[in-house]
């Protein structure tokens, strides 16, 4: 593969071998898997979303409750980039591994629905999803297509057609708890896995960042593919600090076509 060092090629081969040997595989994905699709991440130095804005001022539960227009003003360009985005080769590679029966579950920190667009069927969304909105008063749910397009095109805040209250995108804001069902499912999958793939995550946001530690403490293998090291890299079987959109498809190809 063009541009990859010999050590990286060896790591890809080793990763494919671990995947072929494993019986229950879980992938944990973060923002880094979607940057090649044009969606900015949050923590990259100088260009991440939090390099420009203070999270608690624009993306917190309290801001949404007291000044929803401030939240939506920050949210609008992010929503626009997400709705325009298409899955990249890494998303398709994970979907192919899942379809083949090699990969059991994808646990994602992303809200962009790109795993599902790529064809993945077992996705646990830890930080919520952009696919739906919920009324803050009557709690009815609505699909994003009917409301976010008008929001992007005309800057019209989404309101409930039944009671008139504002609709909140089903994404987890600062100050909110993780979805309980998703968290229980993620923990159950972590306990069952004998191999975890960490892809495009800096592992800085708890409690999701603790899942790889839980996995290896129970004897699972760990593969990390990210642009920078993580707190648990020292305990991983394999660390590959390269472009996720290039490495994950390479591993999938070596796994499915040895």
Q: What is the pLDDT of residue 252?
A: 98
Its pTM stands at 0.90
Nearest-CA neighbor of 110 among 188, 57, 183, 32?
32
What span, in angstroms and rounded, lies between the C-alpha atoms of 223 and 225?
7
CATH of domain 1-39+87-127+178-258: 3.40.50.1220
Q: What is the pLDDT of residue 187?
A: 97
Q: What is the pLDDT of residue 90?
A: 98
Q: What is the pLDDT of residue 54?
A: 55
Q: What is the pLDDT of residue 23?
A: 98
Cα 109 to chain centroid, rounded: 4
Q: How far apart are the first and last CA of the chain?
A: 15
| Ranges of the chain whose pLDDT falls below 50 | 43-51
Q: What is the pLDDT of residue 153?
A: 81
Q: What is the pLDDT of residue 160?
A: 95
Domain boundaries, the chain: 1-39+87-127+178-258, 41-84+129-171
Q: What is the pLDDT of residue 114?
A: 97
**Residue 76 near residue 84, CB atoms below 8 Å:** no
Q: What is the pLDDT of residue 1?
A: 58
Query: Of the CATH numbers 3.30.1600.10, 3.40.50.620, 3.40.50.2000, 2.60.120.10, which one belongs to the domain with range 41-84+129-171?
Result: 3.30.1600.10
Catalytic residues: 127
Q: What is the pLDDT of residue 42?
A: 57
């Amino acid at each position: 593969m063009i541009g990859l060092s010999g050590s990286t090629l060896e790591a890809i081969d080793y990763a494919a071998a671990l995947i072929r040997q494993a019986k229950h595989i879980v992938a944990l994905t973060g923002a880094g898997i979607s940057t090649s699709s044009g969606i900015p991440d949050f923590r990259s130095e100088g260009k991440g979303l939090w390099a420009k804005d203070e999270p608690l001022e624009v993306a917190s539960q309290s801001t949404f409750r007291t000044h929803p227009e401030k939240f939506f003003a920050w949210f609008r360009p992010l929503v626009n980039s997400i709705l325009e985005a298409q899955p990249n080769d890494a998303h398709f590679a994970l979907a192919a591994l899942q379809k083949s029966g090699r990969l059991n579950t994808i646990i994602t920190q992303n809200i962009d629905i790109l795993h599902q667009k790529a064809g993945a069927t077992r996705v646990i969304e830890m930080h919520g999803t952009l696919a739906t909105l919920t009324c803050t008063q009557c709690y009815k749910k609505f699909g994003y297509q009917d409301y976010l397009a008008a929001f992007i095109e005309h800057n019209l805040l989404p309101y409930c057609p039944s009671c008139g209250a504002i609709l909140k995108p089903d994404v987890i804001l600062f100050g909110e708890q993780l979805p309980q069902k998703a968290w229980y499912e993620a923990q159950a999958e972590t306990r069952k896995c004998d191999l975890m793939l960490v892809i495009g995550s800096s592992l800085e946001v708890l409690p999701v960042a603790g899942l790889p530690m839980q996995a290896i403490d129970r004897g699972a293998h760990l593969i990390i593919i990210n642009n920078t090291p993580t707190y648990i890299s020292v305990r991983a079987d394999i660390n590959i600090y390269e472009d996720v959109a290039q490495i994950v498809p390479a591993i999938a190809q070596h796994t499915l076509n040895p």
